[in-house]
Structure 1
Amino acid sequence: MKPNHKGRAQLFENPILEKMTRTHIALPISIFILIAIGMLYYGLVHSFINLVQAIGFFFLGWIIFTLLEYLAHRYVFHMDTDTPFKARVQYVFHGNHHEYPKDKKRLAMPPVVSILYATVFFFVFELLFGKYVFGVVAGILFGYAIYLFVHYVVHAYAPPKNFLKQLWIHHSIHHYKDSEVAYGVSSPLWDYILGTMPKKSR
Structure 2
Amino acid sequence: MKPNHKGQAQIFQNPVLERLTRTHIALPISIFIVIAIGLIYYGITYSFINVLEAIGFFLLGWLIFSLIEYCAHRFVFHMDTDTPMKERIQYTFHGNHHEYPKDKERLAMPPIVSLFIASFFFFVFKLIFGQFVFGVVAGLLFGYALYLFVHYAVHAYAPPKNFLKQLWIHHSIHHYKDPNVAYGVSSPLWDYILGTMPKRTNSK
Query: What range is the shorter-chain TM-score in?
Result: over 0.9
* 1:102 matched residue in structure 2: 102
After the TM superposition, which residues 23-62 of structure 1 pair with which residues of structure 2 at under 5 Å, given as runs? 23-62=23-62
Q: CA RMSD in A?
A: 1.0
* 2:16 matched residue in structure 1: 16
User: Matches of 1:108 and 1:55 in 2, distance apart?
Assistant: 27
Contact 1:150 1:164 in 2 (8 A): no
Residue deviations 1:90-145 (CA, integer Å, cap 9, x gap): 00000000000000000000000000000000000001100000000000000000
Q: Which amino acid aligns with 2:96?
A: N
Q: Percent identity?
A: 78
The 3-state SS of whatever aligns with 1:122 is helix
TM-score (norm. length: structure 2): 0.97
Q: Which amino acid aligns with 2:142?
A: F
1:133 aligns with 2:122: no
Consecutive unaligned residues of structure 2, counting only runs of 5 or more, are: none
The 3-state SS of whatever aligns with 2:158 is coil
* 1:197 matched residue in structure 2: 197
- Cα distance, 1:49–1:89 mapped onto 2, change above 3 Å: same
Consecutive unaligned residues of structure 1, counting only runs of 5 or more, are: none
User: Matches of 1:134 and 1:52 in 2, distance apart?
Assistant: 13
| Count of residues in correspondence between the two structures | 202
* 1:144 matched residue in structure 2: 144
Structure 1 residue 163: deviation in Å?
Answer: 3.4
After the TM superposition, which residues 71-90 of structure 1 pair with which residues of structure 2 at under 5 Å, given as runs? 71-90=71-90
Q: Which amino acid aligns with 2:65?
A: F
User: Matches of 1:164 and 1:156 in 2, distance apart?
Assistant: 15
* 1:155 matched residue in structure 2: 155
Residue deviations 1:21-80 (CA, integer Å, cap 9, x gap): 001000000000000000000000010000000000000000000000000000000000
User: Matches of 2:162 and 2:153 in 1, distance apart?
Assistant: 12
User: Matches of 2:134 and 2:197 in 1, distance apart?
Assistant: 33
